Structure 1
Amino acid sequence: MKKITLNQKKTSTIGLEFDELIPDNVYTWEKADFEKYQVPIGNSKFPFTDYFDVEVEGSAEAPNEVIITINGDLRRVKYIGTKMTAGEIIANSSVDLHCGSEMAGGSITVNGDAESYAGREMTGGTLTIKGSTREFCGSSYIGDWRGMTGGQIIIDGSAGKQLGECLTGGEIHVKGNCDILAGIHMTKGLIQIDGDVTRWPGGQMQGGNILIKGKLSRLLEGFVDAEVVTNPEIAGKTFTGRYIKYTGDIARNGKGNLYLDADKNRNFLGNY
């Protein structure tokens, strides 16, 4: 096992781009390799060791034998874990844009908050955010139609707008609250939200499942055929309790499922 520890020496007002510093690329690197490395910052590159001290312990024959720990104030460090396929990254701070984007395997733990587009277009692996995340987590990127297709995102805090936009697979679990339009345009996968949701989850969804354990403030008109179900089994998981199950969004002839906790959303029960 190889342990690589990056200790921040100074911050940058322009985001450092860490997409090259993943286990897939650095599992053979020693300290001298990091000392030669130039990190992209805006339109230029600068010596990596201007910003981080590096400690390397042990050895690895493959990326899955690498643990990268990043210490410091990482709020201006972008693309942590982008396109990684194996190994582990631990970021001991809040992080900037695109953390875990296009991730295919391995694990990332963020001991803080994550900026926008965390886990966008993921195909595998596990991204755990111990704080909250902003908009477009697990989504597609600008101009694309396919968001997260596999893997798992776990958010201990709350999530911003358009969580799981264009979701086509995988699972997102938010343990806190969520802003508007969770699961917009989704076709497959599971979004579980334990807290409250502002409004309009599942807009234009065509498939997949959204389950909300907290209170929903407003439901889209495109969700119909409500029924009350007990202990539903979704994606191989059993969710204890009574839920109002809707189908939608009929605006897109959707066959997705939206589950609302029946006890916390009695205002939606109507005659059911």
Structure 2
Amino acid sequence: MKTITFDQIKTSSIALEFDELNTDNIYTWTEDDFAKYTVPVGNSRFPITDYFKITVEGEADSPNEVKMIMNGDMGRVKYIGFRMSGGEVIINGNADLHVGAEMSGGYVLVNGNAQAHAGREMSGGKLEIMGNTKEFTGASYIGEWRGVTGGEIIIHGDAGKQCGECLTGGSIHVLGNCDILAGIHMTKGTIEIDGNVNRWPGGQMKNGNIIIHGKLGRLLEGFVEQGIVTDPEISGKVYAGKYIQYSGDIALNGKGGLYIDAENNRDKLSAYSEGNDEYITLGDY
């Protein structure tokens, strides 16, 4: 096992770009190799040792045997974990744009917040963010129509707008709240949100499933109420409790599933009696 530790010396007002420094490319590197490397900073390149003290310990025969540890505030370091296929990246601070973008394997942990496009177009691996994320988490890049196709994203805080845009596989779990248009254009995969959702989840979705445990602010007109389901099993996982089930988005002849916690969203029911809390289906009202 090889451990490569980046201890931050100074920050940059212009973001450093780490797209060349994934585990696939550097698993054979020594401290001397890093001493010769210049990192892109805007339109220029500068020695990476101007910004980090880099320590290399152990040996690796493949990217799977590498752990990158980044200590400091990486809020101005983009593309950490970009296109990695294996190994681990531990960021002990915040991360800038595109953390974990296009990764196909391995594990990236952000012990802080992440900026926009976290986990963009992932096909495998696991991205875990202990804080909040900005917009387009697990989404496609601007102008593209395919986002995450596989892998797992876990956000312990809140997620910004259009989380899971164009999701075509894999799963996203937001333990906090989520802004507007989660799962817009999704065709497959699962988005689970423990907290509240602002507005319009699943807009123009064709397939896949969205599960909301908190309160939904506003639902799009393209979703048709199917009834109340108890302990639904979705993609092999059982979600305990009662959920209002919708299908949509019918504007695109979509067959996606939207499940929202019935107790937290009584105002969304087509019929509800305050004196009857033992509801199972709409017909029980």
TM-score under structure 1 normalisation? Answer: 0.99
CA distance in 2, matches of 1:234, 1:37: 47
Q: CA deviation digits over 1:78-129, x for unaligned, max 9?
A: 0000100000000011110000000100000000000000001000000000
3-state secondary structure, aligned to 1:264: helix
**Aligned residue number for residue 250 of structure 2:** 250
**Aligned residue number for residue 45 of structure 1:** 45
One-letter amino acid of the structure 1 residue matched with residue 203 of structure 2? G
3-state secondary structure, aligned to 2:49: helix
Q: State the shift of 1:192 in Å.
A: 0.1
3-state secondary structure, aligned to 1:265: helix
Q: State the shift of 1:22 in Å.
A: 1.1
CA distance in 2, matches of 1:51, 1:82: 19
**Aligned residue number for residue 4 of structure 1:** 4
CA distance in 2, matches of 1:73, 1:155: 19
**Aligned residue number for residue 137 of structure 2:** 137
CA distance in 1, matches of 2:160, 2:211: 17
Q: State the shift of 1:69 in Å.
A: 0.2
**Aligned residue number for residue 14 of structure 2:** 14
**Aligned residue number for residue 92 of structure 2:** 92
Q: Which has the larger Rg?
A: 2
Q: State the shift of 1:226 in Å.
A: 2.2
**Aligned residue number for residue 36 of structure 1:** 36
One-letter amino acid of the structure 2 residue matched with residue 40 of structure 1? P
CA distance in 2, matches of 1:101, 1:169: 15
One-letter amino acid of the structure 1 residue matched with residue 74 of structure 2? L
CA distance in 1, matches of 2:188, 2:217: 24
3-state secondary structure, aligned to 1:173: strand
**Aligned residue number for residue 157 of structure 1:** 157
Q: Percent identity?
A: 65
3-state secondary structure, aligned to 2:35: helix
Q: Give the unaligned 5+ runs of structure 2.
A: 272-281
Matched, 1:128 2:89: no
**Aligned residue number for residue 229 of structure 1:** 229
3-state secondary structure, aligned to 2:264: coil
CA distance in 2, matches of 1:73, 1:223: 42
Q: Give the unaligned 5+ runs of structure 1.
A: none
**Aligned residue number for residue 210 of structure 2:** 210
TM-score under structure 2 normalisation? Answer: 0.95
3-state secondary structure, aligned to 2:263: coil
The ranges of structure 1 where at least 4 consecutive aligned residues each deviate by more than 2 angstroms after the TM superposition are none
